[in-house]
Amino acid sequence: MALENVRTELGLLWARLGPFWGISPATARVHALLLSTADPLDGETIADMLEMSRGAVSMACRDLADWGLVHSERQAGSRRVTYRVEEDPEKVIRGIVATRKRREWNPIAEAVGGWNAELVGDRSADASALRSRLAELEGLMGLIDSTAATFLDGGLIPRLGLKALVKSARSLRSRKKPRSKR
């Protein structure tokens, strides 16, 4: 009974937060369900458990695979596809960063660079001010972009190990004593 309660609450929370992460509530619910199961599930089972259409489940699983959050598998000799959640938190984080960068960051960076180039010939005060602000923004975005590229290419994190960092953070948090009320 506890598992079903936690599974339901996780699904509701993921559905509420999904749009903030760039995924639909239905996609987030599928991810939450797959997080809560030990074994891969097929689309029909997911649809039945979440009371969703097979089409919606198929689209959600395709989106989750694009993010690197689930993997589809087909057993030899079977037409049935099962979906399993990615269990390595480092791969999950890299997948999310790479997808958000591709979908959101790259188009913004391209647009800012294009606008700056377009304004080069305009000598008005407003164009000059905008060019200056866009150049600053482009420089900052370049710095952030190179940091993201270093992370995605396996920079500092693999040497230190994400799992070791998470373990260390948990250890520090558990050692902190609650603040006394004054």
pLDDT tens, residue by residue, 120-131: 999 999 999 999
Tally of domains in the chain: 2
Last residue of a domain, one of 28, 63, 85: 85
In this prediction, residue 154 carries a pLDDT of 74
For residue 176, being part of any structural domain is answered with: no
Tokens standing for residue 153: 């290419």
Q: Are residues 99 and 153 in the same domain?
A: yes
* Over residues 172-178, mean pLDDT: 67
Q: Are residues 139 and 156 in the same domain?
A: yes
Q: Are residues 6 and 80 in the same domain?
A: yes
In this prediction, residue 158 carries a pLDDT of 59
Q: Are residues 8 and 66 in the same domain?
A: yes
47 secondary structure, DSSP code? H
Q: Are residues 13 and 79 in the same domain?
A: yes
Enclosing domain of residue 7: 2-85
Q: Are residues 75 and 29 in the same domain?
A: yes
Q: Are residues 104 and 35 in the same domain?
A: no
* Over residues 73-78, mean pLDDT: 86
Tokens standing for residue 49: 């458990």
Q: What is the pTM of this model?
A: 0.69
